Structure 1
C-alpha cells in the first residue's frame, strides 16, 4: 500500500489544534460586544443564576426542615441521639455549602427553621426509619430538580 502524507498522529494533532482554537475563540474575556452592547447570552446567564439561587435556597430550606426533624427524633429518643450526630452534622454541612452567596450588605437571614410536619414515632426504630425516608425524599427531590 502506498503511504499518503497524512498520518493518524498528524490528523489527531490537527483535530486537537482546531478544537483548542475553537474553545479559545469562544472564551472571550470581555462580556461586552462591539459598540458597548451586552451579548445576547448575558440574559441567559442571569436567568441561570436566578434558577441556581432558587434551587440553592430550596435545598437550604429543605435541609433546615431535616435538621429540625433530626432534633425532634433525638429529643424524643435520647438513645438514638449519639448515632444521629454525624448524620445531622453532614446535613448541616450540606446546608452551609449550598447556601447561596450573599451580596454585600444583605442580611444573614438566620431565621428559625420551620417546624417539620408530623409528630415523631413513639418507637425509636420507626422514628429512625422515618428520618431515613425523609432523607431519601429530600435527595430524590434534589436530584429531580
Structure 2
C-alpha cells in the first residue's frame, strides 16, 4: 500500500523551489528596466547633496562661534584663559562638521563685542544657545550618522552656554 500525502522528500523539494524562486526574483535587474534603479540612484545623490548642505551650514555656524570666541578673548584678555578650552572645542566641532576632508568653512564676520566682559560672556552664552538650537533643528532632517554628530555638538554647545554663564559670574567687573 502506497502512502498518500506529503512526504519529506516532497516537502524539501517544494521548499527548495520556493527559496530558489525568491532568490532569483530578488536578484533580477528589473529595477534598471523599470526605471526604479535610476530613481534610487537619483535619491542617493539628492541625499548626498542634502547632507553636504547640512554639514556646510553646521560647520559655518560652528566656525562663526569660534570667531566670536576669538573676538571676545582678544577684546577681554581676562577671559582668554577661561575661554581657551571652549574655543578649542568649538574649532574641533567646525572641523568635524565640515564636509569633505575636514577643513572648516570660513567663518562669517562675528560682529561687535560689548565693552563689558560680563556682558560679552553673556552674549557669547546666548550665541551658544542659538548654535545649540540650530544644530538640534538640523539633526531632524539629517541621516543617522550626521544626526548623532549634530546631537553631540548641540549638547556641547548647550554645556558651553552654561559654562559661559558661570564664567560671566566669576569675572570681575
The ranges of structure 1 where at least 4 consecutive aligned residues each deviate by more than 2 angstroms after the TM superposition are 32-35, 108-114
Tell me the distance in 1 between the aligned counterparts of 2:79 and 2:47: 41
**Superposition map of 1:1-145 within 5 A:** 33=31, 39=37, 40-102=39-101, 113-117=107-111, 119-145=112-138
In structure 2, stretches of 5+ residues that fail to align are 1-22, 139-173
TM-score for both structures, normalised by structure 1:
0.65
Q: Which structure has greater helix proportion?
A: 2
Secondary structure of the residue aligned to 2:79 is helix
Measured after TM superposition, the shift of residue 33 of structure 1 is 4.6
More RCO (CA 8 Å, sep 6+): 1
Measured after TM superposition, the shift of residue 83 of structure 1 is 0.5
Tell me the distance in 2 between the aligned counterparts of 1:84 and 1:65: 15
CA offset digits 1:80-128 (Å, max 9, x no partner): 00000111111111111111115xxxxx9777533113x1111111111
CA contact (8 A) 2:60 2:106 kept: no
In structure 1, stretches of 5+ residues that fail to align are 1-24, 103-107
CA contact (8 A) 2:60 2:104 kept: no
